[in-house]
Amino acid sequence: MDKDTVAAGGFVVLFVLMLLRVPVGIAMGIVGVGGFALVANLNSALGLLAGSPFSTVTDFNFSIIPMFILMGAFASAAGLSTDLFRASQAWLGHYRGGLAMSAIAACGGFAAINGSSVATAATMTNGALP
């Protein structure tokens, strides 16, 4: 089959599967393996399906995720985020817009510590919300 036809059909099948309430990851996996089977052959697609999860799970770049979780647990238990927010609130809170400025300063400090913007936003929300 033509690759463009397979791609267009894959999008249609993907949206139909999502309308049928199939989870997005599973729908993408079904469409990806099916499309690869149509472009190459079924044995190659099944080989890809067998080897890809193992190579993804054993990737060295994902080994740091437990360390980020552990560091977040330590920072939460130590009260680092609330202390950092209180310190920035003491320095900048009396200015006009001080809450926003102190939240930005605390987020900058915490982001410099851990390097993850998503973890910083989640952590600082708990400190700034009250």
The answer to whether residue 87 scores a pLDDT higher than 70 is yes
pLDDT of residue 23: 94
The answer to whether residue 68 scores a pLDDT higher than 80 is no
Roughly what angle, to the nearest 10 degrees, separates helices 98-114 and 65-78? 130
Which of 16-30, 53-67, 68-82, 112-126 is modeled with the greatest confidence? Answer: 16-30
The pTM of this model reads 0.48
**What are the tens digits of pLDDT across the range 5-63?**
989 999 999 999 999 999 999 999 899 889 988 888 888 888 888 888 888 888 888 87
The pLDDT of 111-126, averaged and rounded, is 74
CA distance 102 to 84: 9
CA distance 109 to 82: 12
The pLDDT of 72-100, averaged and rounded, is 84
pLDDT of residue 16: 95
The answer to whether residue 130 scores a pLDDT higher than 70 is no
Q: Quick one: which of 60, 103, 97, 68 has its CA closest to 85? A: 103
The pLDDT of 92-102, averaged and rounded, is 87
